[in-house]
Amino acid sequence: MPSTHKNYHWRIAGFYFFYFAFVGLFAPYWSLYLQSIRFDAMQIAILMSVQPVMRMLAPTLWGWLADRTGNRRQVVRVAALGAALSYLGVFFTTQFTGLLLVIGVMSFFWSASMPLVEATTLTYLGKHSARYGRIRSWGSVGFIVTVLGLGYAFDYIAIAWILWVGVAIKFGILIFARQIPPTEVLAHHTDSQSIRSLLLQPQVLALFGACFLMALAHGPYYTFYSIYVVEHGYAKSAVGWLWALGVIFEIGVFFLMPWLMRRYSLPQILMASMALAVLRFLLIGWFVDSLPLLLLAQILHAATFGAFHASGVALVHHFFQGRHQSKGQALFGSISYGAGGVAGGLLSGPLWQHWGASVMFSLSALAALLGLLLLLWKYGVSEQRL
């Protein structure tokens, strides 16, 4: 790892903090804001799916641009500025078409940054990539601060104040985007291969397919979870704590990742996270009125996102290196959180309206199970040290 580690650690950590602070605003509370301005379930599902649509389409373009120019840092800065300026459009419309356009443009820029910062972080850490979770955990801290603070605030102030909080967070992202360190892309023996040939490896296809299914499983959760628990009598502050609880345990897993990676292979960690996702979504769907079981379901977020994300990013880093590193992380984001999130979010609307939350979350459990079976098929349960 570079000798400048201590100088740059806080810069990358600060970007993660504000980036995921915005996730802590958007994922739990944006649907409540949309509900407050009289959108129905289908409209909410569509508007909440705009962001994953852009995570599906935009990162590959931005990743290609970063690898082509060799300047990830400048691309991150441009994307952060574009996201901040386009976000201001939320103050000028409450119409469905207007918000669809504003969120679409904002998400086009916003979705560009994370795959590039992930690639920068792993390049920066070098052979110490197991420490990725310790830097990434600052994103979880940012999420917790936002989700808890807003949860309590919205018990006393109007949900419309969410717009101004978003401005402050976007400004923070803009500041730390300018602090991202430069990193040198090292030559790798796969540089002569096409990105297509790397993507079509059976293990890579299985990885991306399973991650797509995992993101699909989480689509209903990110779209309707807050509305779901509020309708079952929980206060908005309780909603904040439920979201935060999962992320608190997520931080613990990020710090445990070096220990886990010494004892288990990356595919084994990924498969365990998917098995626990099956349990988690069944608990949410059928036991929402049992606070202890709802708390257990949120604790399992440590596995279904924390361990899943850290092992997934590390596997992508294993398969895509050298000049393909940014494109690999972008493809991972596009196929999993992008395409999977879109599919899950859009399916959640009609499922919520016509079949109810229990069926909706049961299908989330089924998607996670299919992802687990796909990984078992191509990776097995052997001690593959990936």
- DSSP code of residue 335: I
Query: Is 386 a domain residue?
Result: no
Q: What is the mean pLDDT of residues 254-283?
A: 95
Q: What does the alpha-carbon distance between residue 106 and residue 372 come to, in Å, rounded to a whole number?
A: 33
The domain total for the chain is 1
Q: What does the alpha-carbon distance between residue 48 and residue 352 come to, in Å, rounded to a whole number?
A: 14
| pLDDT for res 221 | 94
Pick from 25, 329, 326: which is nearest to 172 by CA?
25
Query: Is 190 a domain residue?
Result: no
Residue 379 pLDDT > 50, yes or no? Answer: yes
Contacts of 310 (CB under 8 A, 6+ apart): 132, 133, 136, 253, 254, 257, 269
**Residue recorded with tokens 């997934």:** 312
Residue 313 pLDDT > 60, yes or no? Answer: yes
Helix (H, G, I), strand (E, B) or coil at 258: helix
Query: Is 324 a domain residue?
Result: yes
* CB count in 10 Å sphere of residue 323: 19
pLDDT 10s digits, 226-252? 889 999 999 888 888 998 899 899 999
Query: Is 128 a domain residue?
Result: yes
Q: 347: pLDDT confidence band, cut at 50, 70 and 90? A: very high
Query: Is 277 a domain residue?
Result: yes
Looking at per-residue pLDDT, the higher value among 383 and 312 belongs to 312
State what percent of residues in the chain have pLDDT above 90.
55
**What amino acid is encoded at 75 in this protein?**
V
CATH number reported for the structural domain that contains residue 13 in this entry? 1.20.1250.20
The rounded mean pLDDT for the chain is: 88
Question: In angstroms, what CA-CA distances link 286 with 175, 281, 355, 363, 369?
Answer: 43, 9, 13, 12, 17
Pick from 269, 356, 334, 361: which is nearest to 116 by CA?
334
Residue 2 pLDDT > 50, yes or no? Answer: no
**Residue recorded with tokens 């999130």:** 341
**What amino acid is encoded at 362 in this protein?**
S
Residue 68 pLDDT > 80, yes or no? Answer: no
Q: What does the alpha-carbon distance between residue 77 and residue 87 come to, in Å, rounded to a whole number?
A: 16
pLDDT 10s digits, 182-197? 766 665 556 667 888 8
Question: For residue 354, what are the domain limits?
Answer: 5-182+195-379
Contacts of 36 (CB under 8 A, 6+ apart): 158, 159, 160
Q: What is the mean pLDDT of residues 125-142?
A: 83
| pLDDT for res 138 | 94
Q: 342: pLDDT confidence band, cut at 50, 70 and 90? A: confident
- Note whether 224 and 348 are within 8 A (CB): yes
Helical segments of the chain, H only: 5-36, 41-69, 72-87, 96-125, 132-153, 162-177, 195-199, 202-231, 236-263, 266-286, 291-299, 301, 308-319, 325-333, 341-354, 357-379
Query: Is 187 a domain residue?
Result: no
* CB count in 10 Å sphere of residue 140: 27
Query: Is 352 a domain residue?
Result: yes
**Residue recorded with tokens 């916003």:** 110
Query: Is 189 a domain residue?
Result: no
Q: What is the mean pLDDT of residues 265-288?
A: 97
What pTM does this model have?
0.78
Residue 382 pLDDT > 70, yes or no? Answer: no
pLDDT 10s digits, 362-377? 999 999 999 999 999 9
Q: What does the alpha-carbon distance between residue 279 and residue 207 come to, in Å, rounded to a whole number?
A: 21
Residue 4 pLDDT > 50, yes or no? Answer: no
Q: What does the alpha-carbon distance between residue 335 and residue 342 come to, in Å, rounded to a whole number?
A: 10
pLDDT 10s digits, 189-227? 566 678 888 889 999 999 999 999 999 999 999 888 988
Q: 172: pLDDT confidence band, cut at 50, 70 and 90? A: very high
Residue 123 pLDDT > 90, yes or no? Answer: no
